[in-house]
Structure 1
Amino acid sequence: MAQVWISAAGLCGATIIGSVLGFLIKGLSHKWNDTILGYCAGIMLAAATLGLIVPAFEQGEQWWLVVAGVMAGAFFLNVLDLVTPHLHHITGLDAEEHRHNASLNRILLFVMAIALHKLPEGMAAGVSLSDVVTTNWTVSLGIAIQNVPEGMVVIAPLLLAGVKPMRTFVISVAIGLLEVVGVWLGFALGSVSQALLPVMLGFAGGAMLYVTSDEMIPETHAHGYQKQATYALLLGFMSLVLIEKFFE
């Protein structure tokens, strides 16, 4: 149980750290934003594959259950995207864009989109720590790293909409706490039975791959800095590979 609390506290804490940095850093250029996001995308790709999908295949011989889980996880977030805006519609970087588009209702939808993604992210970490598999910190570490810039992204649009700083911080903490719920939910579901675990691991992996492909990578290629973002992605991927190898 201790590892579940550590993971939950780490994921929530990373979001809060990102929120604090969001208050301190007034603006971030597209070049640095895309580079950092590219690095996080590489981390997420490695976490989804090495921390979730590969272990899912190792849990049993019914490979089709893993494939079905991956596709179901992606489809689940695809459905969420039908009712929530894409992350790259509001990034907090262009003041002119915000003057025309940043109505409070739209920003609240944006924040809801981030919040909804937190639950499956937390579940991914929780499933990977299930007591029927060897404790795996790869997924928790990968999500925690990408939670920092994500926490920064939540702060900017709320402040621009006129939400008071303290209320904005409370909202960011509440979003982080959703991930704590997700960690415990994923841990509980992953511990129910050995037969369910490969599907849950695949589902969590598919959800993470969907977010990376549909949200993070397109954002890093939208402002002319795709080369830097691509090398940052490769660096992020290899960073988590080396971290996992170091902790074996």
Structure 2
Amino acid sequence: MTGSQIFWYGSIASLIAGLATSIGAIPVFFFKKQLSEKSLDAFLGFAAGIMLAATMFSLIVPSINTGGITITVIGIIAGAVVLELFDTFSPHEHFLKGHEGPNIDVVKKVWLFVIAITLHNFPEGMAVGVSFGGGMIKNGIVVALAIGIQNIPEGTATAVSFLKAGYSKKQAFWWSFLTGVVEPIGGILGAALVVIMAPALPLFLSFAAGAMLYVISDEIIPETHSHGYERIATFSLIFGFLLMMVLDNALG
């Protein structure tokens, strides 16, 4: 596969995965009442399991196979540290955990939400983009499928969270849709990097894995363990992991 094909595969796949967020947001137009916290925790736990499996089997394993364990460890640490720096120094608002970062009053609450979601979705898009590097079409498809699947319940959860914040159903849908648009930006960057700097593919794969692991542990899992439904969130994560593991094996 040529460099231009890798770039377009990665860019288009990340766009499709990002747009899956809007599919998850559609149900808000039909809700007569808000989803329960139990349902949201189950949805997000399932999404976390899918992301975790995709990170392991389609990012970390290929990185080890092509670049060795040392490069993989370095990349994972680097990805996690970069996300931690963004998380620490960017003012943003978690839907459940509240405000983090500098207390800048002039930043409207809605933009705090948007920044938080951007921190979450950008590395996902980048993971899709880099996963097509080296002509690894199967890996790219698996990662894009995993993130697309997990974006559906995430889109629902995001839209419902906007409803809770007082936005209309239409506004909640469009804000959720826009959060998904961030992913192809990360996808384009990731795909471009692996084309321009092909020898560094193992590092890019592991960097994306580190960023994904950070998002799963710092963002998603704490959100699902804040309402007393830890057990259902945990088993939902396991089911999501198993589903993605089976799909990865079937596609392989």
Q: Give TM-score, length-normalised by structure 1.
A: 0.85
Matched to 1:88, the amino acid is L
Aligned in 2, Cα 1:88/1:77: closer, same or farther, shift over 3 Å? farther
- Residue by residue, what CA displacement relative to the aligned partner does 1:110-163 show, whole Å, maximum 9, x if unpaired? 122102322211010110012443431221111111211222233234345454
Aligned in 2, Cα 1:154/1:201: closer, same or farther, shift over 3 Å? same
2:154 to 150, 156, 159: 150
User: Sequence identity, in percent?
Assistant: 41
- How many pairs are equivalent? 235
Q: Supply the distance in 2 between the matched residues of 1:226 and 1:167 (Cα, whole angstroms).
A: 30
Q: Which moved more, 1:20-29 or 1:43-52?
A: 20-29
Matched, 1:114 2:117: yes
Q: Which moved more, 1:139-148 or 1:154-163?
A: 154-163
Matched to 1:147, the amino acid is N
Shift of 1:242: 0.4
2:35 and 2:160 in contact (8 A); partners too: no
- Residue by residue, what CA displacement relative to the aligned partner does 1:47-101 show, whole Å, maximum 9, x if unpaired? 111110111111123x2221111111111211222222334336xxxxxxxxxxx
Q: Supply the distance in 2 between the matched residues of 1:161 and 1:218 (Cα, whole angstroms).
A: 20
Matched to 2:131, the amino acid is S
Matched to 2:187, the amino acid is V
Matched to 1:193, the amino acid is M
Q: Which moved more, 1:6-15 or 1:73-82?
A: 6-15
In the alignment, which residue of structure 1 is the partner of 2:249?
245
1:132 and 1:191 in contact (8 A); partners too: no
In the alignment, which residue of structure 1 is the partner of 2:187?
183
Shift of 1:3: 3.4
Matched to 1:46, the amino acid is A
In the alignment, which residue of structure 2 is the partner of 1:47?
54
2:24 to 14, 18, 39: 18
Matched to 1:135, the amino acid is K
Matched, 1:78 2:81: no
**1:122-161 equivalences in 2 (<5 Å):** 122-136=125-139, 137-161=141-165
Stretches of structure 1 lacking an aligned partner (at least 5 in a row): 91-103
Aligned in 2, Cα 1:224/1:71: closer, same or farther, shift over 3 Å? same
Q: Which moved more, 1:126-135 or 1:193-202?
A: 126-135
Matched to 1:17, the amino acid is I
Shift of 1:21: 2.1
1:7 to 13, 22, 38: 13
Residue 133 of structure 2: SS of its match in structure 1? coil
RMSD: 2.3
Shift of 1:165: 4.5
